[in-house]
Amino acid sequence: MKIFKYIPYLLSLAMTVLMVQCVDFDELNRNPTQSTGMNPNLQLSSVQLWQSNQTDNLHRFFIYPGGFMNQWTNDWAVVSYGGKGVTSDAYFAMYWEEFYYPKIIKNVVDLVERTKDVPEYTNIHAMARILKVENFLHLTDLYGDIPYFEAGEAYYTGVLKPKYDKQEDIYTDFFKELKEAEVALSADFPKATGDLYYNGDPVQWKKFANSLRLRVAMRLIKVDPERAKTEAQSAINAGVFTSNNDICYVKHENVKESVGESAGNGIANILLKDNKSSTFRLTTELIGTMEDLGDPRILYYGSSYLEDNVRTDITPQLYAYYGSYKAITMGAQLFSYDSQVTNSGAVAIEVNGELVDVSALLKFMQPSKVITNYGSPSIHLSYAEVEFLQAEAIVRGYLPGNAQEHFKKGLEAAVNQWSLFDVKVPVDAATDFSAKNPLQAGKELEQIGTQLWILNFLDPVETWSNWRRTGFPVIEFYNYDPTVNQSAGQTPRRIPYPLSEQKNNKEEWEQAVQRLGGSDSWLARMWWDK
C-alpha cells in the first residue's frame, strides 16, 4: 500500500535535518514576533512529522489518557498518575507548553498565513488548514475552551494574550475550515512536494478532510445531535475513505531516538526504551476483550518476551501452559509489585530445549515487536474508523444505510491495515473475524464503541475522546490506592490548564474556568461532553 510514500519521506527528512542546522527552532517557538521563513514544503512535512516523533511529549498521552483507558499498565508514570488519578501540574502543562502551542500550532498557523493567496501554494495552504484542524482537535479535546482564533498569530497581529475561545465556536470553525479546504484542493495547482501523508495527492487529501469532518461531527452526539447528523451526512456525501489505501499515516525510519525526538516512531521509542525490554504491559481488560471476540490482532498488539538481546518470544509456550492470552496479562492500573501480580507466581517453560524460569512480570504481555519497531507507521486516521463511525451514525438514525455492512467492513479493515506494519495477515483472518462478530440488536453502540477502543489503542487521546462521547466500553476506575487518588475515584474528563496561564493570561483563563462551572477540575465536563 502506498509504497511511494517512502521516497518523499526520505527526501523531506533530509531537508529537515539540513534546515535544523541553520534554524534555531527553540528560539522561533519562543519568539512571537518572528515568522519561521521556512520553505512551505519543508514546513508541511515538519508539522506532519512532529506529531509522531516527539518521544518525551508523546509519553504524556500515555501517562494520562493512556492510563485512564485501561489498555496500558505497569509503566511507572502511567500507573502512578493516570492509573491512580494523581495530578501533575507539570505533566498537564506539557501538552500545552512544550508540544502543541510552541511547536506544532505556531508552525501550522504560520504555514496557513504565509501560503494564503499565493497561487503556487494553493494546495499547501489547504493542507495546512486541514492540519490545523487535526491538531487543534486534539488540543481542545484535552482541555476544552482554548486559544484558537488568535493562537499562533502574534507575529501577524501582535496579540500576546490570545482569547480563550468557546469549544462550540472552535468546532463550528473546524467544519468551515475542512469544507473550504476540501473545495480548494485541486490538481490544477502545483503539487506539494513535502507531504508525508499522501505525496501531495489532492484527491486523497479531499478524502482525509471529509473523513476528519466525520470524526469531528460525531463528537457532537450528546450536545448537538442535529448538527452531528447534518455534518456527518455532508462529510460522507462529499467523499470519505473507501479502502485501506486511503489511510492517513506517516511512515517512519527505523531509528531509535536519543534526545527526545528522531525520525523513528515516537510511540515505538516509548514502548521499547532499551531494545530488549519494555516497562509497559497490555491489560487483561484489552486482551481479554479481544480474546472473547476471537480477534486475530492479539499477537500484533502484544506478546511475552524474555529480556535477552533478541526478545525471545515465549508466548506460544505460555499460551500452551495457561490456555489463554488473558491469563498472561496484567490488570489495568497495576504495578509489577502489586499483590495481584506477584501472587500469580513464576512458571518454568522449555525454551530452545532448555528449562527457563519465567518471572511473574515477564509472563505478562508486552508491546509486540510489530509496534515497537521504530520504523512502524503512525496512523492518523484509518479507514476502519470511518466505517465504524458510519455504522454508528446509521444506528443513531443520522444516515440511511446498512449498519451491519459498515461494521463488517470496519472489522475487516482493522485487521487488514496491519499489512502497513509489514505483518503478513492471513488471507481469511479478516473475513473470519467479521463473520464471528455481527452487530447484535440493542448492543450495536456498545460493539462499535468497543471496536473504536481496540482500534485506537496507540492513540490514547482519540480513545479517551470516543469513550467520553459514547460511554463505551464501560471503563472502571478501580481506585486501588484511594489515599493518593485525586479524582474522587472517577475517570477524569479533561486536562486542567497550565498553572502559567493564571499568571500570563489570567483574565481569559478565569473566563474559561467560569464556563466550566467555576473550577479548573479534571472532572469538569467540556462543552461536547455534557
Domain boundaries, the chain: 3-243, 273-367, 382-455
Mean pLDDT of the chain: 92
How far is residue 307's CA from residue 276's CA, in Å, rounded to a whole number?
Answer: 6
Query: Residues 416, 244: contact at Cβ < 8 Å?
Result: yes
Binned at pLDDT 50, 70 and 90, residue 38 comes out as: confident
Binned at pLDDT 50, 70 and 90, residue 35 comes out as: low
Q: Where are the alpha helices (DSSP H) in 402-518?
A: 403-416, 429-436, 444-455, 460-470, 500-504, 506-515
Cell of 38: 521556512
Tens of pLDDT, residues 432-491: 999 999 999 999 999 999 999 999 999 999 999 999 999 999 999 999 999 999 999 999
Torsion angle in degrees (nearest 10) through CA of 180, 183, 185, 186: -150
| Cα atoms in the Cβ-side hemisphere of radius 13 Å centred on 168 | 8
Fold of 382-455: Four Helix Bundle (Hemerythrin (Met), subunit A) (1.20.120)
Is the pLDDT at 260 greater than 70? The verdict is no
Longest dimension (CA), the chain: 70
Cell of 443: 448492543
- % of residues, the chain, pLDDT over 70: 92
How far is residue 212's CA from residue 235's CA, in Å, rounded to a whole number?
Answer: 9
How far is residue 256's CA from residue 375's CA, in Å, rounded to a whole number?
Answer: 9
Domain 3-243 carries which CATH code? 1.25.40.390
User: How many residues are present in the chain?
Assistant: 530
Strands 302-303 and 248-250, sheet pairing: unpaired
Query: Residues 71, 371: contact at Cβ < 8 Å?
Result: no
pLDDT score for 7: 35
Cell of 381: 486516521
Single pTM value for the model: 0.93
Q: Quick check: helix, strand or coil at residue 407?
A: helix
pLDDT score for 75: 96
Phi, psi of 186 (to 5 degrees): -160, 140
Cell of 346: 513464576
DSSP letter for 326, please.
G
Beta carbons within 10 angstroms of residue 22's beta carbon: 6
Identify the residue with better confidence: 58 or 190. 190
Same fold, 3-243 and 382-455: no
Phi, psi of 54 (to 5 degrees): -90, 85
Q: What is the mean pLDDT of residues 402-429?
A: 98
Nearest to 377 by CA among 106, 102, 52: 52
Tens of pLDDT, residues 157-184: 888 899 999 999 999 999 999 999 999 9
Identify the residue with better confidence: 486 or 275. 486
How far is residue 109's CA from residue 503's CA, in Å, rounded to a whole number?
Answer: 24
Strands 378-381 and 366-367, sheet pairing: unpaired
Query: Residues 227, 235: contact at Cβ < 8 Å?
Result: no
Lowest mean pLDDT among 261-275, 355-369, 408-422, 464-478: 261-275
Identify the residue with better confidence: 344 or 192. 192
Is the pLDDT at 319 greater than 70? The verdict is yes
Query: Residues 207, 246: contact at Cβ < 8 Å?
Result: yes
pLDDT score for 267: 94
Rg of the chain's alpha carbons, rounded to an integer? 23
Query: Which letter, b or e, does each residue of 297-329 get, where b requires 16 or more Cβ atoms within 10 Å of its Cβ?
Result: bbbbbbbbbbeeeebebbbebbbeeeeebbbbb
Is the pLDDT at 413 greater than 90? The verdict is yes
- Residue 456's alpha-carbon distances to 93, 406, 459, in angstroms, are 24, 18, 5
